Amino acid sequence: MALASTDVTVAAVADRLRGRRADVSGRVFLGLLLAALGLTVVTLVTLLVSVTQDAMPVLQGGAVLEREKSPDIDAENLTVTVFGETIPLEAREDPVTGGTRYYRVSERSLGSFLSNGVNFTRPAENGISQGIFGTLGIAVMVILFALPLGIGAAIYLEEYAADSRLTRFIDVNIRNLAGVPSIVYGILGFTILVKALGPITGGRSLLSAGITMAVLVLPIVIITAAEAIRAVPDSLREAGFGVGATRWEVVRHHVLPYALPGILTGAMLSLARALGEAAPLILVGAQTGFFTDPTGALDRITGSFTALPMQVFNFTRQPGEILKVQAAAGTIVILLLIVLAVNATGIILRNRFEAKRS
């Protein structure tokens, strides 16, 4: 670039420096990026607002009208007698036929929604305590089974295994397994855990569901943990070996602490996935209606169960606003809160470990 060419004067240079070139493609690109972000945010906010709005009657509590169809209705006094108990009713005009419909008026609160069991006959007393227990139970089992197995396998593959044809084959297969639809894991859980190992797992039990979910997320745990371990700089390993550390000491003192934030991120993503899956639960036999809670610690694990995603599915199949919309939305909000709590814990832990390694 020779500035000394004949037509370039100081003034021309100054003009060039001051004048901005029209960067059309750059601006269009920036616009597209903003549009993408905007669309994403709008979609997510709409979804959250809509669900929360539907769930408001459940979250806030208040009076609920339940249709009473009993033949024993005393239309004069507006009461109905069930099992010797007299319950007041409210009469409303049927908008379609013009006849009269009778409703029970009950109080519902968030507390009862969280602490009651499934109740389709009295929707106002319906609750999701069984689903919450099941979902938390699955979370614990995923943490107990999938994380140690997955992280262990990842450490072996990254730090110990030789780069042989076998390990590459295993690696490719683990990656493929991560893409297998969850319903397939459901079938696996049904065949092996519910049927073949039924005497041990209790068949259609929380234990079967927890192990199925653990197997479902295992590939994701392995892949994310392996990526995190691969991201540990080799210079750190060399430093460890250089002062006479064994491979175990290098892994224990340097590789794992450095990779831990990344491993945790993967673990949290996996856990959130396990908590949100419904398809495998259908196959391993989560309860779809009313059931009595098993008693005793062992029975709660090897007995009947359900989980929140399954309950959302079940509620939406019931007639009536109270279950179909309100209870389903309320359950979704609770499920989202649990997932949020899991992720928040993960982020806090990750930040703590990240601060440690700098």
Residues in contact with other proteins by CB under 8 A are 162-163, 233, 235-246, 249, 253-254, 257-258, 356-358
Instruction: Output the CA torsion sign for 79, 80, 86, 88.
Output: negative
Contact 179, 216 (CB under 8 A): no
State in angstroms the smallest separation of the CB of 224 from other proteins: 21
User: Given the complex with other proteins, which of 68 and 354 has the nearer CB atom?
Assistant: 354
Which residues touch 69 (CB under 8 Å, ≥6 apart)?
Answer: none
User: Given the complex with other proteins, which of 121 and 235 has the nearer CB atom?
Assistant: 235
State in angstroms the smallest separation of the CB of 157 from other proteins: 13
Contact 104, 81 (CB under 8 A): no
State in angstroms the smallest separation of the CB of 352 from other proteins: 14
User: Given the complex with other proteins, which of 186 and 240 has the nearer CB atom?
Assistant: 240
State in angstroms the smallest separation of the CB of 265 from other proteins: 18
What's the distance, Cα to Cα, between the start and end of the chain in Å? Answer: 45
The count of C-alpha atoms lying within 13 angstroms of the C-alpha of 244, restricted to the half-sphere facing its C-beta, is 0
User: Given the complex with other proteins, which of 253 and 317 has the nearer CB atom?
Assistant: 253
State in angstroms the smallest separation of the CB of 176 from other proteins: 25
State in angstroms the smallest separation of the CB of 348 from other proteins: 20
Which residues touch 115 (CB under 8 Å, ≥6 apart)?
Answer: 127, 129
Query: What residue type is assigned to position 230 of the chain?
Result: R
DSSP 170-191: HHHHHHHHTTS-HHHHHHHIII
Q: Which pair of structure tokens corresponds to residue 45?
A: 């906010």
**Distance in angstroms (rounded) separating the CA atoms of residues 147 and 218:** 8
With CA atoms as reference, report the closest residue to 127 among 101, 109, 100: 109
State in angstroms the smallest separation of the CB of 242 from other proteins: 4
Which residues touch 51 (CB under 8 Å, ≥6 apart)?
Answer: 329, 332, 333, 336
State in angstroms the smallest separation of the CB of 267 from other proteins: 21
State in angstroms the smallest separation of the CB of 228 from other proteins: 15
Which residues touch 166 (CB under 8 Å, ≥6 apart)?
Answer: none
Q: Which pair of structure tokens corresponds to residue 148?
A: 């140690």
With CA atoms as reference, report the closest residue to 327 among 135, 48, 114, 47: 114
Per-residue b/e over 94-107, b at no fewer than 16 CB within 10 Å? Answer: eeeeeeebbebeee
Query: What residue type is assigned to position 20 of the chain?
Result: R
Q: Which pair of structure tokens corresponds to residue 245?
A: 């550390």
